[in-house]
Structure 1
Amino acid sequence: MMALLRPELPEDDENWAFELKWDGVRAVAYVRSDGLALISRNDKDMAPSYPELGALTGMIREPVVLDGEIVALRDGRPDFGLLQSRMHVQRPTGELVRSTPVAYYVFDLLRRGDRSLLAEPYTARRRELEELGLNTDPVFTPPWWAGGGEAVLAASIEQGLEGVVAKPLTSPYLPGRRGPWIKVKNVRHQEVIVAGWTPGEGRRADMIGSLVLGVYDDHALRYIGNVGTGFTENSLHELADRLRPIERPDNPFDTTVPAAVSRTAHWTEPELVGEVAFSEWTTDGHLRHPSWRGLRPDKQPEQVTRET
């Protein structure tokens, strides 16, 4: 179940639950005594990438299905850039797990034993989730608040967090649906499809200068701008390695690309999904001041549309 991006919190504050928004990778956890599956939004099992979360199997005495966010912490706050070093590693070494540990922040309980809780209201699901007592590293149950959304949003800003998720107190869990949950972000983020790159200049003359970005709009791939900041040298090399095998001779977009971009662009199949931070949308539908945050292997290109 996904949340709709909204610019403001709901007015009928007393009818909503508020949670802090965690900057990580969404995962539904299927927990049994004999194993764990961590299913991403594109239906891939991420459990081998995060072996420390196998501790879940010893924390619960009955089979459960949980919903939550995998995060990597820096100075006590989720750091999406830090998580990047774990997201692409199928079998991490012990050294990587020790140097960049992750945690699982659980915010919903979908099944407990033989009982489905999907039709139960939010408050009932949270009550049963808290009964499980999941508050031992690396698995935690963050708090929620009934009403008081403005205070929660203010706290998220003060703590440098991504924003707030608001959920109707009576809402069931609707798999595959976007809404009635809503999210209000302190910083705007947008999932993007990488459809090509342009060469760099100066010290990046032999490297990627910017990525050519798009989103789907009614099944048409629409150009939304380029991003040329926010990269580390390692991320540029990784992107070059991933883009080289999927190069193509022609422009993959269904909408117009500025001539200045087309003249120098190296086109690729629109297969890689990433994420950028940005200030706002321009009147012609382009990203203003985008900055690269990293690849999103947990997302499929066809899932990427503009978040208004």
Structure 2
Amino acid sequence: MSKSSVQTPERKGARRGKTTRTRGGDALPAFVAPCLATLTDAPPAGELWLHEIKLDGYRLQARITGGKTQLLTRSGLDWTARFSSLAKSLSELPVQSALVEGEAVVLTEKGVSSFSALVQALEQGRSGDMTFVAFDLLYLDGVDMRRAPLIERKDLLKAVLERAADPERLRFSAHISGSGVAVLKNACKLGLEGIVSKRADLPYRSGRIGDWLKSKCIQTDEFVIGGYVVSSVDATAIGALVLGTFEAGRFVYAGRVGTGFSHETARALWRKLQPLKRKTSAFGDSLTAAQRRGVVWAGPKLVAQIDYRAWTRDGLLRHASFKGLREDKPAAEVARPAVKH
């Protein structure tokens, strides 16, 4: 069987006309802006929705052509070298050309994705510890699959991955149809981050338009570092980070995080923040004396991923914990998460 012989699985009622190969074939896109999930306080119900486990890693777009794979972040950065083992495994898929979306993760012994473990693996150059969990197929062998409904794209993606030479390294993101409430409840019991719910009948559309919704067990979001407090036991380590988000171009204070980093990580963060030190606060509003106490101000450039329980009444993070730095999102795009009710 040739590399291009994988066919779209037949499905009852499937809309096949929109995925017909055009004369000469559709051009393989250089990059597709991602479809983004909107945060919601309760998952949707109904058979039109598919529910997948929300993964805790780096979202990547695998552009496969001519037996080589380029891995791009959600903002289009080329991170192929950083995920070289995954790129090699993807290059061995039985396709001539493809555009596959997925998440690069490091799985714990319990099979749960860990962002902290992924950051550590990246810092140590251990791409062999990573797994690529594929959840969408945007292009395959001359056909632009974005015009097909999600369920067709996933059916075909599963068929491609079933023939992967490295099934442990390349995995399919399975889903459950129907009411998401029970799916979210079970995910939370297992200690997972949450779920992503997607409309099964829609084509792929870039942007945050409500086609995909995310429901969380643990609140996890990105925040920008606007300063730090030096550790009380090591002058070359941080003891806490001062966080904020951008609202209409203004840098808004969101609180501090003082847990979640080892001594080694605290020293690494201190080193990264030294070139960003500044004499004055970058926050748009004046902070209280307690909020300013002991802070070394920094230019708002570094993005941190933070776990937290809730927001206080005055809009500050409650029970926050540091998970790692994110390098795939510009600081200026980090806004306070809006919830769809």
TM-score after normalising by structure 2: 0.83
Q: Classify the secondary structure of the residue corresponding to 1:129.
A: helix
**Which of 156, 159, 162 is 2:193 aligned to?**
162
Taking every aligned residue pair, what percent have the same amino acid on both sides? 31
- Kindly provide the CA deviation profile for residues 123-166 of structure 1, in whole angstroms up to 9, marking residues without a partner as x: 11112212213561211112112214233223312322111110
CA–CA separation in structure 1 for the residues paired with 2:286 and 2:64 = 47
In terms of Rg, which structure is larger? Answer: 2
**Which of 156, 172, 184 is 1:153 aligned to?**
184
- Kindly provide the CA deviation profile for residues 5-57 of structure 1, in whole angstroms up to 9, marking residues without a partner as x: 111011x4222111111111111111123321111123211111111112111
1:206 to 1:261, Cα distance in 2 relative to 1, 3 A: farther
Greater alpha carbon shift after TM alignment, 126-135 vs 237-246:
126-135
Paired residues of 1:49 and 1:86 also in contact (CA < 8 A): no
**Which of 92, 105, 115 is 1:58 aligned to?**
92
Which aligned pairs between 1:95-110 and structure 2 lie closer than 5 A? 96-98=126-128, 101-110=129-138
Which aligned pairs between 1:176-215 and structure 2 lie closer than 5 A? 176-201=207-232, 203-204=233-234, 207-215=237-245
Name 2:147's counterpart in structure 1: 119
CA–CA separation in structure 2 for the residues paired with 1:178 and 1:88 = 34
2:55 maps to 1:16: no
Paired residues of 1:33 and 1:61 also in contact (CA < 8 A): no
- What runs of 5+ residues in structure 1 fail to find an aligned partner? none
Paired residues of 1:198 and 1:261 also in contact (CA < 8 A): no
| Matching residue's letter, 1:138 | R
Paired residues of 2:42 and 2:181 also in contact (CA < 8 A): no
Q: Which runs of 4+ in 1 moved over 6 A?
A: none
- What runs of 5+ residues in structure 2 fail to find an aligned partner? 1-34
Aligned residues: 299
| Matching residue's letter, 1:244 | Q
| Matching residue's letter, 1:146 | S
Which aligned pairs between 1:201-240 and structure 2 lie closer than 5 A? 201=232, 203-204=233-234, 207-240=237-270
TM-score after normalising by structure 1: 0.92
Structure with greater proportional strand content: 1
Which aligned pairs between 1:212-291 and structure 2 lie closer than 5 A? 212-291=242-321
Greater alpha carbon shift after TM alignment, 249-258 vs 101-110:
249-258
Q: How many Å apart are 1:240 and its aligned residue?
A: 0.9
Name 1:43's counterpart in structure 2: 76
Greater alpha carbon shift after TM alignment, 17-26 vs 79-88:
79-88
CA–CA separation in structure 1 for the residues paired with 2:123 and 2:36 = 23
- Kindly provide the CA deviation profile for residues 152-183 of structure 1, in whole angstroms up to 9, marking residues without a partner as x: 22331232211111011212211233532100
CA–CA separation in structure 2 for the residues paired with 1:161 and 1:304 = 23
Name 2:173's counterpart in structure 1: 142
